[in-house]
Structure 1
C-alpha cells in the first residue's frame, strides 16, 4: 500500500513533464512555419502577370539646385506704352487686346482744336521768318560797309534767330503729332493727330474708348513684342553667391503645364531689393517652340553643381507615414520570390530616379522590386 502511494505522484510528475515538452515542440514548429511581418513571398505567376521588374541600384547624376520663382518678361525695348504728346479726344481706336500690329500701323486718332492753332502759329512764324531773314541780311551788309549801326544789326540778328528757333520748335511739335509740316505749308491744316505703332507685336492693354479725352502723357494702349522673352527670377540673398552666369535652369509653369523647360543664367543683379532678393535675368532655350506669354508665373531651379550617387527608379520607393520603403529581394527558390520591406533614406528626385541615402547597409549585388512595389507595400 505504501509503495502505491509513492508511485502515483511519480507517474503524475512524468506525465506533466511530457505534456509541457509537447507544447514547447508545437510552439517551436509554429514559429518556423510563419513568414516574418516585414517579408512577403510572390509566386512566379504573380510576378509575371503583374509585369514586375527586378533591378540593381544605379549610379546617377543629381543636380544641386537653388530654388526660386519669378515670371516671364520681355526686354524694355520690346515693350511700348503709347501716349499722346498733346491731349485730345479719341476719334478712332480700331484695336482690341490680342490684335497683332506691325511697326508704323495706325493705332489711335486724336482730335483737338489746339492742333489747328499750332499749325496756324507755325505758318505765321514761317512767314515772319522770311521777312526777318531779309532784314537781318540787309543790316549785316550795311554794318559791314559801316553804313548801319551795330545796334540795328544786332537787333535784327536777334529777331531773326529767335523766329528761326520758334519755327524749328513748332515744326518739331507737329512731327511729334505726326502732322506733316510740308502739308501744313501747302495749306492742308488738320484738326486730328494720329498715333502709329513704334514696334511690331501684340496689343496687351487698351486703356481708352472712342470719345474719351486723354491728357498729355496718359497711357492709351500697350504693345508687347514676344519675339524675345526671358525669365526674371528673384533669388534670396543667402543663395546668390552660388549663382553665376551660364548656369543651367530648369523651370516650370505650374498654372499652365506639367512640362519642365530649360533656360540659362545670363545676368545676375548687383543690388538687393527691399525683400532681400536679387534679380537674375535668364535666357530661354527653344523659346520659339513654346507659347510662352509675358507675365506667366514660373518656379525655377538654378543648377549650381552636380552630385553622383546611387539611386533607384522612383516607382520602387513607396512613402508611408513620412517613411520611405523599398522591397529587397532576399531569395529566389522554387519559382518564388521572397522580399523584405526595407526602410531607406531618400534624397533628391530627378529624371524618374530617387537617390538612396543609407546605401552602406546594402550590397551592389542587391536587387529590388522596381515595378509593382507600390501595391505590395501598401498591402
Structure 2
C-alpha cells in the first residue's frame, strides 16, 4: 500500500511539471506572437505603407520669434489735409488700386476762398510796394529823399514779399495754383492726390463729413516690396546676423513654410518689453500673396547640423515610449515586422533625430503606416 501511494505521488508531480512546461511553452509562443506583426502584401498596399531606412537629415537650430508682414515707410502714405474741410467727393473704396497723382478726395471750405482772397490782395499790394521801393531807392541814391523814407519803403516791401511767398507756398500745399488765383480764378474746393502708387487700405471718411487737419482721411500702401518685421528678445539678439536664413509661417492662413533672410538688425532695445526689431527680406516674394499686417511665426536659423533621422510618420508613440517597426522577414505574400524602442532628439516638420541609430543600422524601416499596427491596446497583433 505504501508503494502504491509513492507511485501515485510521483505521477502527480510529473503531471504537474508537464502542465507547467505546457503553460510555459504557451507563454513563450504568446511572447513570440506579440513581438512580431505580420501584414499581407495586399494590406501593405491598401494601407499605402512605405519602407525606408535611417539616414542623415539637416536640423536647424535657431531663435523662435514672431512679427508681422509690413512694408517700408516710403511705401506707405497717410492722406490728410493741411486745412480742415468738408468732404465733397470720395470716389475710392478699400482695395482700389491707385496711380501716383490720382485724385483721392475733394474738400470744400470757405476758408479756402478767404486764403485766396488774402493772397490776391497781397499780390496786388506787393506791386505797389515794389514800385515805391524802387522809386525811393533812386531818390535816396540821388540824395533827393531821406534815408528814413527809403528804409521804410524797403521794410514795407520785404515784409509784404515774405507774406506773399508764405501764402503762395500754402496754396501750393493745398494743390491750388497761385498763378490762376492771380488771374482771378478762385476756388472753394481743394483736391488731394495720391503721392504713391498702391492700394487703398483704409478709408475713414464719407461725403459731407468734416475733417480736421490732423485727421487721417485714408491710407495707401504700395505692396511692391513687403518684408518681415520680427521682434527678437534682447537675450537672443547677439546670435542674429545679417544674411541668416529665416523660415516663417502665416498660422491663420496657411500651413506652408516660407523663407526669408535677415536684412537689418535694430540697434536699440525697446525699454518696455526688451525687444529689438529685425527686418527680413522675403525670398521669392513675387510668388506670394501676403497682406500687410499678417501675423507670422518665424525661426531665425543660427546653426545647422546633420543627424541620423527617420520620418516623423515612422515613429509611433506607444505606452509612453517611441517605437519604430523594421522588417524582420519578407515573403512573397507577407511582411513580418518587429518593434524597436527609439529615443528622439531634434525635430522639424518632417523628420526626427534618432539618438540610438546603431539599433537600426542596416534595417529596413516601416516609414509610413505603422501607427495602425500598434494602435490597438495590447501591443502587437497579426493582421
Q: Is the 8 A contact 1:341 1:377 kept in 2?
A: no
| Residue 334 (structure 1) shift | 8.7
Match of 1:348 among 335, 346, 349: 346
d(CA) in 2 for partners of 1:321 and 1:224? 54
Match of 1:204 among 176, 198, 201: 201
The secondary structure found in structure 2 opposite 1:216 is coil
The secondary structure found in structure 1 opposite 2:235 is coil
Q: Is the 8 A contact 2:37 2:373 kept in 1?
A: no
| 2:208 corresponds to 1:224 | no
Partner of 2:191: 194
The secondary structure found in structure 2 opposite 1:134 is helix
The secondary structure found in structure 1 opposite 2:200 is strand
Match of 1:73 among 65, 70, 79: 70
Q: 1:70 to 1:16 in 2, by over 3 A?
A: same
TM-score, reference length from structure 1: 0.93
Q: Is the 8 A contact 2:100 2:194 kept in 1?
A: yes
d(CA) in 2 for partners of 1:225 and 1:261? 21
TM-score, reference length from structure 2: 0.92
The secondary structure found in structure 1 opposite 2:134 is helix
d(CA) in 2 for partners of 1:21 and 1:173? 113
Q: 1:192 to 1:339 in 2, by over 3 A?
A: same
The secondary structure found in structure 1 opposite 2:2 is helix
Q: Is the 8 A contact 1:253 1:298 kept in 2?
A: yes
| Residue 160 (structure 1) shift | 0.7
The secondary structure found in structure 2 opposite 1:65 is strand
Partner of 1:268: 265
Match of 2:356 among 331, 353, 358: 358
Partner of 1:32: 28
The secondary structure found in structure 2 opposite 1:231 is strand
d(CA) in 2 for partners of 1:93 and 1:19? 103
Q: Encode CA deviations 1:78-119: one digit per residue, 9 max, x unaligned.
A: 111111111111111111111111111111111111111111
Partner of 1:14: 10
Partner of 1:137: 134
The secondary structure found in structure 2 opposite 1:306 is strand
Partner of 1:339: 337
d(CA) in 2 for partners of 1:40 and 1:210? 78
Q: 1:79-118, aligned counterparts within 5 Å?
A: 79-118=76-115
| Residue 350 (structure 1) shift | 3.3
Aligned residues: 374
Match of 1:257 among 254, 258, 282: 254
Partner of 2:298: 300
Q: Is the 8 A contact 2:55 2:309 kept in 1?
A: yes
| Residue 225 (structure 1) shift | 0.8
Structure 1: segments with no counterpart, 5+ residues? none
d(CA) in 2 for partners of 1:32 and 1:322? 25
Aligned CA-pair RMSD = 2.0
d(CA) in 1 for partners of 2:19 and 2:201? 87
